[in-house]
Amino acid sequence: MGEKIVAVIATLRTALTAVALMLIGIGSATAQGSVVVYCGVDEAWCRAMTTTYEKQTGVHVDMTRQSAGEIYARLRAEKENPRGDIWWGGTGDPHLQAADEGLTEEYKSAMLPQLQDWAQRQAERSKFRTVGIYLGALGFGYNKEELARRKLAAPACWSDLVKPEFKGEVQMADPNSSGTAWTTLATILQLMGEEPGFAYLKKLHANINEYTKAGAAPAQSAGKGETLIGIAFQHDVIDVAKRNFPVQVVSPCEGTGYEIGSQSIIKGARHPEQARKFYDWALTVDAQKIGAANRSYQIPSNAAAPIPPEAPDLSKIKLIEYDFAKYGSSAVRVAVLGRWSAEVKNAPR
Amino acid sequence: MERRSEERAALTGSGVIGAQQQEAGLSRAWVAFGVFALAVLPWYGLETPMASVLGWRAEAAPALFQGRSWLLPLGIPLVMALTGRPGFLMAAGVCGLAWMLGEGVVIGPRGAGLTQPAMGWGAAAYALCCAALASIGLARRGWCRGDVFVVGSLLTVLGLILLFVGYPVVRILKSAFESNDGGFAPALFAQKFFSAGIWGLDCLDGGKACGVAWNTLAEAMLVGVLATGLGLAFALVAVRTQLPFRPLVRLLSLLPVITPPFVIGLALILLFGRVGVVTNFLGEYFGIPRTRWIYGMAGITIAQVLAFTPIAFLVLSGVLAAVSPSLEEAAQTLRAGRWHVFRTVTWPLIRPGLANAFLISFIESLADFANPLMLGGNFNVLATDIFFAVVGAAHDQGRAAVLALVLLVFTLTAFLAQRAWTGSRSYATVTGKGDSGLSAPLPKALRLACLSVVLPWLVLTIVVYAIILGGGFVVTFGRDYTPTLHYLLTAFSIDHGVGGWFLSGSGWRSFITTMELAAIATPVTAALGLLTAYLLNRQSFAGKSTFEFLAMMSFAIPGTVIGISYILAFNVPPVELTGTGVIIIISFVFRNMPVGIRAGMASLAQIDRSLDEASMTLRARSFRTLRLVILPILRPAIITAMVYSFVRAVTTVSAVIFLVSGEYNLSTVYIVGRADVGEYGVALVYSAVLIVVMAAVLVGISTLVGRQQIGRRGMLGAAPASEMV
């Protein structure tokens, strides 16, 4: 009799719990635990990472996709009370900045020795608060049809972009709002030196039709023909080209800068153990193959991971010695952006 | 004896002895509820509410078993309330709330000493209990004619508005005065507030760009004037002519309400962009050079006028219909010509309507976020600048708060102007008396002018909607018109797998979440809105106009400002909501509540108070009167409020773009994301699906419910209510 009552109560309790769970919409409390991921790359890639990890481990992944800038803003807003566990993907500067401000946690993964040099250097720079997961080189793309229609020579170098025939035909993002454009600015200054660099940017300004808000927008516009040339990361241009738009990617002849897409564990994470497991997994060969399968053609950081055939060939790209310490610091950033806004952006065309 | 005094009391509407006995029971019931809140409900955490009661997790234990000593005094007010004396009840409510808020603010989530997580369901229930106890006390002191229900709803609505509208706005103000590391920095505020980026006037004397505040104001002025003018032309055509396409005008005026805001911008790019269809055509056959004119003020203006003209039209057609023909007939009998009648009789009567329409489109344009996002080019406005100040590489929350403040000042000023304008003047000419004349026909020149504006605009609207509905079903709009279902299947395919049928499309999750959250928010919005309308229209109390202002204010707060203020206000304990579905529902409710209030006020104004009085004389108290007398008559208004708040919740983007999370992503944010990476096909298909679903909801509800008619008053009430949709 007593057992019966216990059984009934147990059943009721289960039923009630189930109803409550359904009502509140929480089916996440699985036995394997869960991890909250802020994902800073393309939606499809984020989703594929999530589902693959869930399939392989049974851990529930609660993923939010936002741009690196949005995630950084979120970490700062949530500083007192972090809700995310791991920030995976997105350009390296905000990761470094977050590391600098103590928003992220130090962690030395056992996977570190397997990584490419540039990825390990990223970790050392941040005192192991972040690590490189992919590399993307800067460049530009031009619309082949529009170029042919106007019978112009294809641009191959940064210096081609300031030619008078491209007046009103070049698009780049606004470095005040886009990490990609900030990389562009820093690249030009490192390549040419501070003063000649600004002289170049002023000349370029005469050819710019719009400073877009989002970093990948110029690549999109070039693909659609809304602009002739768009300055963006090469993998973004390749992605547009793979969607059957007549756009050609160019790696500038003078050399070019790059970003190191990174991941960091958030300080005060609610599931630190799970965050570290995801972190390690994301550095494995298997996990790093997922990007190319989902149209993201960056170069993976695990030295053993295959480089996607579509990715820009690193041996043919001249990468500059990018000074992440200098151009990642807030002070330099504020100064350079201030000067750029005052002298370049607001100058008459 | 007792009975007679009761009757007298009922007639005069003051306290009743029997009711007092009832209320003693009531206060005890609320005390019991308070005990339940403290001893059974989980005190902390909204995330795993019911599950944690059953599972009895340590952190989610009820307040009394938390082992946190500062929670124990919360029981004292309940003991005080047991005495049942009015003074004690009031004190109990006030002290309970004060202690709860005090300990919540003082003891944070982190720190060296005492810590505690964010408040949960127990805390919410306890707050409700305190409000109820205080209201019983106040009512017994004779507030609001001793009506507990009225006092209680008043306090509850006021508390909710203060928490979810007032507090976030205050938080923005505070943030505007802070430096990035949290210190008080008035100098920095002044520097940010008066920066050239906001107020610069460089564009007047050279090629440089003007400050973003001037851009926004100029844009809003232009859109306000154009939308009002077009709206008037449409209204004249629809109300004062017999042209065959009048029903089409009405139909098209509904469309923008159910259109996700940014798709109009998307369609305009596909038409007029540098490789748009129209541009291609003009370039190939007429040699007109391709330019990027659509990106900037021109494009934003067209998109916003497309979106807001229907609102102006609805306002003005209502005003025009309310101009009594008898006045115009009188003028005609005095031998005034058509033009003279229009100029001296009709025009002055619709002038306040014009001002109203202008101010509404002005506010909408100020607050518009999606169109400038799509079409802005190098032309910046406040709403998008706020967004990019938060998410851009600059990461300047302080600047975002300052920009939000400027925008808020603009919209609130326009809102106050609108209230002052419409509140103080009455131009109603339709009276209850016989009014069966015919309106004067329009002057010929005016008629032609209206048609020459209306017809091209109609064509543009139809083309834009054709692109929105059909653009997602061709391979690449503008380049390759092969029909395809690829995008539809990407977003909304259903597959058959091992576990049976499942939704494999990428859009399903956000779609279902959106429908769920909007469906939860809808009845809450309507209930709260109508309750507020009832309080405003039927009850009198001190500070009523302030209360009304607060309630309607959220209508004038731009979505971007709401979004950022909610992040600032509700990310940290004591009230922690970010990342939950609750915060999205709350933003829906408080953004759309003014619509419910307006619909309710309009209908209530048409129901004679004698009905309430009759019910009161029969000794029904206010809640019973509301339930049995007023609510049934209000049915059309309820439906209007519900439909409108549902539709607005589904189509909003500006507020929720800050609030979505992985678990709770919304359709509009998903579509913006797709458009952002250039997947126009998926974005268009998804928008088309949303528009169709929403249209089905509109049509479905109106056929299901039909037009409610209660005598002649009901018919009068039903007409304006259904027009509001």
In the block, residue with structure tokens 């400002």: B561
Record: contact B393-A179, CB cut-off 8 A: yes
Residues of A in contact with B51 (CB under 8 A): 17, 20-21, 24, 26, 29
pLDDT at res. A258: 92
- Pairing relation of β-strands A34-39 and A86-88? parallel
The tally of CA atoms less than 13 A away on the side-chain side of residue B452 is 6
b/e burial code for range B615-649 (CB count within 10 A of at least 16 → b): bbeeebbbeebbeebbeebbbbbbbbbbbbbbbbb
Q: What average pLDDT does the structure give for chain B?
A: 80
Q: B635 CA to chain A: closest CA distance, Å?
A: 28
Question: Is the CATH code 3.40.50.300 the one for domain B222-430+438-461?
Answer: no
CA B605 to chain centre: 22
b/e burial code for range B432-451 (CB count within 10 A of at least 16 → b): eeeeeeebbebbeebbeebe
Mutate to test the interface with A, among B41, B44, B47, B50 (most CBs of A within 10 A): B50
| Closest CB from B393, B573, B581 relative to A176 | B393
B206, with CB counted inside 10 A (0-12, 13-18, 19+), is: exposed
The angle subtended at Cα A45 by Cα A41 and Cα A49, nearest 5°, is 110
Residue B480 pLDDT grade (very low, low, confident, very high; cuts 50, 70, 90): confident
Which residue from B minimizes the CA distance to A146? B275
Residues of A in contact with B47 (CB under 8 A): 26
CA distance B389 to A12: 51
Record: contact A346-B209, CB cut-off 8 A: yes
Residue B423 pLDDT grade (very low, low, confident, very high; cuts 50, 70, 90): low
DSSP line for B441-506: PPPHHHHHHHHHHHHHHHHHHHHHHHHHHHGGGEEETTTEEEE--HHHHHHH-EEEETTEEEE-ST
Record: contact B568-A243, CB cut-off 8 A: no
Record: contact A216-B677, CB cut-off 8 A: yes
In the block, residue with structure tokens 């100040």: B389
A142 Cβ neighbours under 8 A, 6+ residues apart: A154, A155, A222, A228, A229, A230, A247, A248, A250
Residue B256 has pLDDT above 80, yes or no: no
pLDDT at res. B299: 92
Q: What's the rounded mean pLDDT across residues B622-635?
A: 83
DSSP line for B323-360: S-HHHHHHHHHTT--HHHHIIIIIHHHHHHHHHHHHHH
Residues of B in contact with A72 (CB under 8 A): 395
Record: contact A213-B663, CB cut-off 8 A: no
Ranges of chain A whose pLDDT falls below 70? 1-32, 349
Residue B263 has pLDDT above 90, yes or no: no
Q: A113 CA to chain B: closest CA distance, Å?
A: 31
Encoded amino acid at B651, one letter: T
Residues of A in contact with B111 (CB under 8 A): none
Residues of B in contact with A220 (CB under 8 A): 677-678
Q: A328 CA to chain B: closest CA distance, Å?
A: 11
Q: B125 CA to chain A: closest CA distance, Å?
A: 17
Q: What one-character DSSP code corresponds to residue B629?
A: I
Q: What's the rounded mean pLDDT across residues B572-595?
A: 83
Which residue from A minimizes the CA distance to B397? A73
Task: Compare B642 and B51 and report the one with higher pLDDT.
Answer: B642
Residues of A in contact with B392 (CB under 8 A): 69, 174, 176-178, 213
Residues of B in contact with A181 (CB under 8 A): 393
Q: B41 CA to chain A: closest CA distance, Å?
A: 14
CA distance B674 to A42: 10
Mutate to test the interface with B, among A19, A22, A24, A76 (most CBs of B within 10 A): A24
Record: contact A20-B395, CB cut-off 8 A: no
DSSP line for B86-99: HHHHHHHHHHHHHH
Residue length, chain B? Answer: 725
Residue B12 pLDDT grade (very low, low, confident, very high; cuts 50, 70, 90): very low
Interhelix angle B544-553/B397-424, rounded to 10 degrees, is 130
Record: contact A70-B673, CB cut-off 8 A: no
Q: A240 CA to chain B: closest CA distance, Å?
A: 8
Residue B121 has pLDDT above 90, yes or no: no
| Closest CB from B50, B207, B208 relative to A24 | B50
Q: What's the rounded mean pLDDT across residues B259-267?
A: 86
Residues of B in contact with A237 (CB under 8 A): none
The strand ranges marked E within B98-205 are none
Residues of B in contact with A224 (CB under 8 A): 273, 275, 678
| CA quadruple B178, B183, B184, B187: dihedral, nearest 10 | -70
Tell me the sheet residues that pair with A132.
A262
Q: B258 CA to chain A: closest CA distance, Å?
A: 27
Residue B15 pLDDT grade (very low, low, confident, very high; cuts 50, 70, 90): very low
- Minimal CA–CA distance to B23: which of B122, B125, B151? B151
b/e burial code for range B651-686 (CB count within 10 A of at least 16 → b): bbbbbbbbbbbbbbbbbbbbbbbbbbbbbbbbbbbb
Record: contact A213-B388, CB cut-off 8 A: yes
| Closest CB from B206, B392, B568 relative to A178 | B392
pLDDT at res. A229: 95
Q: Which of A260-264, B267-271, B272-276 has the highest mean pLDDT?
A: A260-264
Chain segment B672-701, per-residue pLDDT in tens: 878 877 778 888 999 999 999 988 888 887
Q: What's the rounded mean pLDDT across residues B558-569?
A: 85
Question: Is the CATH code 1.10.12 the one for domain B2-177+509-651?
Answer: no
Chain segment B166-210, per-residue pLDDT in tens: 899 888 888 888 776 667 778 888 888 887 778 877 777 665 667
- Pairing relation of β-strands A60-65 and A34-39? parallel
Record: contact B579-A83, CB cut-off 8 A: yes
Residue B466 has pLDDT above 80, yes or no: yes
Q: What's the rounded mean pLDDT across residues B97-121?
A: 77
CA distance B382 to B389: 10
Q: Which two tokens stand for residue B389?
A: 């100040």
Mutate to test the interface with B, among A43, A45, A91, A96 (most CBs of B within 10 A): A43
CA distance B24 to B35: 17
- Minimal CA–CA distance to B388: which of B588, B587, B208, B564? B564
Asked whether the beta carbons of B137 and B89 are under 8 A apart, the reply is yes
Q: What one-character DSSP code corresponds to residue B292?
A: -
pLDDT at res. B506: 77
Q: A183 CA to chain B: closest CA distance, Å?
A: 11
Record: contact A226-B506, CB cut-off 8 A: no
| Closest CB from A26, A214, A243 relative to B51 | A26
Please report, rounded to a whole number, the percentage of residues in chain A having pLDDT higher than 90: 44
Q: What's the rounded mean pLDDT across residues B359-388?
A: 87
Q: A44 CA to chain B: closest CA distance, Å?
A: 9
Q: What one-character DSSP code corresponds to residue B227?
A: H
Domains of chain A: 32-135+259-312 (3.40.190.10), 137-257+328-345 (3.40.190.10)
Q: Phi, psi (5° rounding) for residue A243?
A: -90, 20
Record: contact A177-B54, CB cut-off 8 A: no
Alpha helices in chain A (DSSP H): 2-24, 43-57, 68-77, 92-100, 117-125, 144-150, 179-192, 194-207, 217-224, 234-242, 272-282, 285-288, 290-293, 324-328, 330-339
Q: Which two tokens stand for residue A60?
A: 């529930």
pLDDT at res. B502: 67
CA distance A186 to A257: 8
Record: contact A224-B273, CB cut-off 8 A: yes
- Minimal CA–CA distance to B633: which of B613, B607, B614? B607
Sequence ranges of the domains in chain B: 2-177+509-651, 222-430+438-461
Residues of A in contact with B516 (CB under 8 A): 25
- Pairing relation of β-strands A104-105 and A170-173? unpaired
pLDDT at res. B477: 79
Interhelix angle B263-272/B277-286, rounded to 10 degrees, is 10
| Closest CB from A47, A83, A226 relative to B274 | A226
| Closest CB from B207, B392, B568 relative to A349 | B207
Residue B107 pLDDT grade (very low, low, confident, very high; cuts 50, 70, 90): confident
- Minimal CA–CA distance to A229: which of A150, A298, A175, A299? A150
CA distance B674 to B511: 14
| Closest CB from B55, B660, B673 relative to A43 | B673
For B299: left if phi > 0, alpha if psi spans -120 to 50, otherwise beta; the answer is alpha
Tell me the sheet residues that pair with A229.
A142, A170
CA distance B71 to B43: 10
Residue B149 has pLDDT above 60, yes or no: yes
Encoded amino acid at B563, one letter: G
Which residue from B minimizes the CA distance to A44? B506
pLDDT at res. B625: 85
Q: B643 CA to chain A: closest CA distance, Å?
A: 23
The tally of CA atoms less than 13 A away on the side-chain side of residue A175 is 24
Residue A63's H or E segment, with its range, is strand A60-65
Residue B55 pLDDT grade (very low, low, confident, very high; cuts 50, 70, 90): very low
Q: Which of B415-429, B597-611, B703-717 has the lowest mean pLDDT?
A: B703-717
Rg (CA), chain A: 23
Residues of B in contact with A16 (CB under 8 A): 50, 54
Q: B174 CA to chain A: closest CA distance, Å?
A: 14
Q: Phi, psi (5° rounding) for residue A88?
A: -110, 120
Residue B297's H or E segment, with its range, is helix B297-321
Residue A141's H or E segment, with its range, is strand A131-143
Q: Which two tokens stand for residue B10?
A: 């009922």
